[in-house]
Amino acid sequence: MTCNKTSALHAFLIGTWLAVLQVVMFLSLQMLMSSGYQTFVVVVLSWLIGAGVGVWLPAGRWHYALLGVSGTAPYLLQGLLALRRFDTSLIWIHAVLIALTALLAGQFFQQERRRFARIGTLFFWENNGFTVGLMIAGIGVFLWGRTFLLVAPAAGFVLVIASVMLRRQLSPTRVAA
Amino acid sequence: MTNDGDRKRDLLLVAVGFNLILLQLFVIRELALTLFCTEIIILTITVAYFAGCSLGYLLASRIDERWIRPWLFGVVLVHLPLIPAVRYLSGQLAALESRWSGANELAIPLVAGITALGLTSFYTVFLPRAISHGGSSARSLARCYSLELGGAALGLVLALSLPWFAVLVVLYQVALVGIAWCLRFSRPGLVSIGVCAVLVLALLPALDHASAVSFYSRFNGGLSSPRIVHTEQSPYQKIEVIDTNGGRTLYLNGLELFNTRDLEYFNFFLSEVPALLRPVEHALVIGSGSMSSLRHLAPYADKITTVEIDPAVIDVSKRFFRQWNLYDELGDKWNVVIDDAKHFLSTTSERFDLVVVDVPAPHYVQTGLLFTKEFYGLVRARLRPGGLISVYLTENYPANHPERVARCRAGRQIVAALASVFEQLCVLDTNHYPYGFAIAGDRLGFTKSDVAAIVRQRRGVRAKIYSTDEVRPTIRGVEPASYSNLDIVWDLNLWFLPYDLQQN
């Protein structure tokens, strides 16, 4: 597998993971806070704001910090929901957690843009991953319900980290060394 | 310093984001309901929507500048009429079904393909091109991407705060004309685009009405001479009231929720029977639909509270179903709370003698959650001593036929959920509907013969009644419907695939 292919794979997996995280947080709020459309608005708006801020963050160390944030924030959200069920006064804290998760959705493009000759190709692979992630999340929730919500963010994190490590293994500098 | 070209590029990206989110919010719903709008179909159309975005990204660097203008012309002319066109085509395909088996099934790839190829791909061409135009620098990427997201945020806020859906349709077309302006169309070109946009807007209501009539008469339900009395888009769903020679029907997202022809007995079993089994000081109705359960509860309850998530449904019920729900005769006896039922139950301090769960079938995760043991636990916490919950099962429940009842996967999971929360339950199975009904509580305070006596008094009604001891063996080893087990949603979705709407 070439480095280009691993970059495409990484973009794809990030997209998949982000879709899963978005669905997981939305459905967690639906289950333990409210199914009102305001929940949907908060999730989507917070996500848009997070991604919009994230894209201004520079490439580099931010990326790895944000991978950690995106891997943690959905569990904080679920933990808070478990502790304070149906407490709509906490919606702003949930909104912040969603926005923090979505920072990666924007910053990721800064991180990866130099690896792709065309920016459209980066968007293409990330969006393909997002599409597949929606399918996985939709069917996963059907089949495993809350169990999926608890397991999927961590499983996605492991896959994303694995793709980062695979790319490092195959990077030209490493091969030369 | 920003020049005119940069400003136009910025505006174009905002318009693109704005229209993309409107498509996601409303067009996915519109197209999905032509295919019987279950969760799987919504997911399919959503996936097609994002596949269209991918196609746009792929084309971004490959498509020549001179093709974008004719493409935009096509988009202005076709985008909005596409929705009635798909609905009309669905009706025509259904009409072909008698001669060509499988014509119905063609609708899924057709609608998904149109969504992917025709709707979203156009919009996603612009972002990569704009970023490249700015030298693909970090700043260019950040600026362009956040502008598009800003447009999407604006669209989301407007879509869910403006009370008039028609304004959004107009704004959508205005954004398309704005895109043409940003693409530096010549004055005659801009005028032509503007005229096309106005023409589409002028023709759209008639097209929409004609296609809805075609759709409901040929495809969905096979209604005879349907008349569209009312159509409304709420943040939750599309609400339609349709008159036929046989009566009036309420559709939510294209799914029939209530009709005045044969759902009279449904409310008898769900609301009236449990209300006759114990004194009811305060009853809670979860969900409303046509609110026709009110009429069945009112003679036996001192006070009725309805909890409904969508205020538009309440409004439609008041306006178009008042002769069936008689809500204006209830006076102070009835009050309505606009809230999610889970949230209401977990936050209210009130207690109820009877809770009637009159929500749509679990076609979606959202409604599926209201058939789970977690939800029944919330209900139990708000019942007075001896209080009852009444629910309908999503299928018949022939508890005395082990082989037949074994096939009722969803029904058994709902009954198992009730049995995991309440000490006692009673199941009614009737041949009037493809549903069973269940009444549960910690202490029922009535016997099978009490229920049988009530049912016997209603002319033309028959039901088999099963006690707790008769029902428990049917759910042995069955995992209750719960937040961790949403098989009921999955099963119901699969049941409608492949669909034959004329039979449903």
Q: How far apart are CA B20 and CA B213, in angstroms?
A: 28
| Ranges for all domains in chain B classified under CATH 2.30.140.10 | 227-258
* Number of folded domains that form chain A: 1
Q: What is the ipTM of this complex?
A: 0.92
Q: What is the pLDDT of residues B404-453, one digit of tens each?
A: 888 788 899 999 999 999 999 999 998 777 789 999 999 999 999 999 99
Residue of chain B nearest A125, judged by CA positions: B54
Using 70 as the pLDDT threshold, list the residues of chain B that sit under it: 1-2, 91, 94-105, 107-108, 116-117, 219-221, 262, 496-504
Q: What is the pLDDT of residues A94-124, one digit of tens each?
A: 999 999 999 999 999 999 999 999 999 999 9
Q: What is the pLDDT of residues A2-57, one digit of tens each?
A: 558 889 999 999 999 999 999 999 999 999 999 999 999 999 999 999 999 999 99
What CATH class is the domain B4-219?
A: mainly alpha
Q: How far is B55 from chain A (nearest CA, A)?
A: 8
Contact B58 A120 (CB under 8 A): yes
Instruction: Give the residue carrying structure tokens 């985008």.
Output: B79
Q: How far apart are CA A24 and CA A18, in angstroms?
A: 10
Cβ(B14)–Cβ(B181) below 8 Å: no
Structure tokens at B224: 């005879």
Q: Which residues face B352 on adjacent strands? A: B383
What CATH class is the domain B227-258?
A: mainly beta
Mutate to test the interface with B, among A89, A90, A142, A147 (most CBs of B within 10 A): A142
Is B442 labeled as catalytic in the residue annotation?
no
Neighbours of B330 (CB within 10 A): 18
Q: Provide the CATH number for the domain formed by B260-495 in this structure.
A: 3.40.50.150
Structure tokens at B337: 């709370």
Q: How far apart are CA B66 and CA B438, in angstroms?
A: 65
- Catalytic pick among B358, B442, B491, B500: B358
| Ranges for all domains in chain B classified under CATH 3.40.50.150 | 260-495
Neighbours of B1 (CB within 10 A): 3
Q: How far is A177 from chain B (nearest CA, A)?
A: 30
Measured in degrees and rounded to the nearest 5, phi and psi for residue B260 equal: -85, 5
From the list B43, B141, B493, the residue facing A135 with the nearest CB is B43
For residue A118, which residues of chain B lie inside 8 Å, CB to CB? 60-61, 128, 132
From the list B124, B346, B366, the residue facing A86 with the nearest CB is B346
Among B227, B223, B205, B231, CA closest to B29 = B231
From the list B54, B61, B127, the residue facing A128 with the nearest CB is B54
* Residue A18 domain boundaries: 3-176
Instruction: Give the residue carrying structure tokens 């629910």.
Output: B391
Q: What is the pLDDT of residues B371-406, one digit of tens each?
A: 999 999 999 999 999 999 999 998 888 888 888 888
What's the CATH number where A123 sits?
1.20.1250
Q: How many CA atoms lie within 13 A of B406 on its CB side?
A: 4
